Amino acid sequence: MAKIKVLVVDDSALMRQLLTKILTHDPEIEVVGSAADPLIAYRKIQELSPDVLTLDVEMPKMDGLTFLSKLMAVRPMPVVMVSSLTARGAETTLKALELGAFDFVTKPSIDVTNGTAQISEDIITKVRAAATSRIRRRATGPALAGPPLTIRAPKGLAEATDKVIAIGASTGGTEALARVLPALPGDTPGTVVVQHMPKAFTSAFAQRLNGLCRMRVKEAENGDRIIRGTVLVAPGDYHMEVVRQGAAYYVKLNQQPQVNGFRPSVDVLFNSCANQLGPHATAAILTGMGRDGAAGMLAMRAVGSYTVAQDEESCVVFGMPKEAIACGGAVRVVSLERIAGELIAGVSGMRSGDVRESASSSRR
């Protein structure tokens, strides 16, 4: 079996050495070269034909975003970004994902030599997944260009006062959510989202979505009420659960141990929906590595929730939806562009396919 060929691109000689050392510990990965700037990197891409690129977000001569945009337009390939844990780093990384980067890992902010060991498993896992991911040629601009389909609110939506939508996603999920959530009407029932993402990134991600959606989007705070027209995104490093108090629903945050290797975990959210909401919840599981959310989605389906999984063709990584489908957790399996319609069908009590969609660039 051929090894996964990786090119490491970073202006720091120390980081190039450390990343090379980490990656070559995996017997299925071969680091074929490294580059200190994008101009050298592009020459080496042509010479070495790597399967995966690791790319620092901040580079000399040509910044990482400009390089990524040009690369994805002319020679699309899986790129794992290496990002700093700063507000600027978070915004740049989100832009990189929009431009087509597969995923990202975060640099340790203190004691780089020792701290990098903490990301070893993360970067190896993501490079391996990137090598088998679906990467398509992209025009310069957003990875998922064009206005999303928008859902025309059905009559039943106004009566869905006691319903909640729950969505879980991981790798590829930032852009998948940027397609699904803007398609939802502004008066959609309260929506809760778990996207696997570090603490420093979820606030910037929620702000970005807020600028795209007709619903209000915010990073969740402990005790926030789940209300119509609002999306609550679980903050990084916190599990998020749904709790019911009388006729009202709230979110509860905690830092209990990781579940399936994640905090926040989709299973934690989905299991709380199964326990607290039963048939009043509708859930979707989107692209991502691993099996987080599969057991929770099965629990939701068992109590009457309407559950939807993204299909393989439209996923960047078919791990999480595949596991949910395999265990029987998904009522429906549809393409990314049909997820929003299925969610509205679920909370409106309608049959699948009864919700109409239209192309629109309207945001609010």
With the CA atoms of 343, 344, 348 and 350 taken in that order, what torsion angle do they form, in degrees rounded to the nearest 10?
Answer: -80
Q: Cα-atom radius of gyration of the chain, to the nearest Å? A: 20
Catalytic entry in 69, 84, 133, 196? 196
Cis check: omega of the bond before 154, within 30 degrees of 0: no
- Annotation says 196 is catalytic: yes
Tokens of 310: 């993204």
Q: Which of 11, 110, 27, 28 is nearest to 63 (CA)?
A: 11
Enclosing H/E stretch for 219: strand 216-219
And the tokens for 147?
């206005």
**Alpha carbon distance 107, 109 (integer Å):** 6
C-alpha span between 218 and 206 (Å, rounded): 5
Q: Which one, of 52, 56, 13, 60, lies nearest residue 29 by Cα? A: 52
Catalytic annotation, pick one of 26, 103, 292, 311: 292
311 is catalytic: no
- Whether 83 and 104 have beta carbons less than 8 Å apart is answered as yes
Catalytic residue among 34, 69, 133, 170: 170
Sort 351 into a burial class: Cβ within 10 Å, 0-12 / 13-18 / 19+: exposed
Nearest to 166 by CA among 252, 280, 256, 288: 280
Cα(188)–Cα(163) distance, integer angstroms: 9
Question: What are the residues whose beta carbons fall under 8 Å from the beta carbon of 118, sequence distance 6 or more?
Answer: 108
Q: Is 292 a catalytic residue?
A: yes
User: What is the C-alpha end-to-end distance of the chain, expressed in Å?
Assistant: 50
> Catalytic residues, which ones?
170, 196, 292
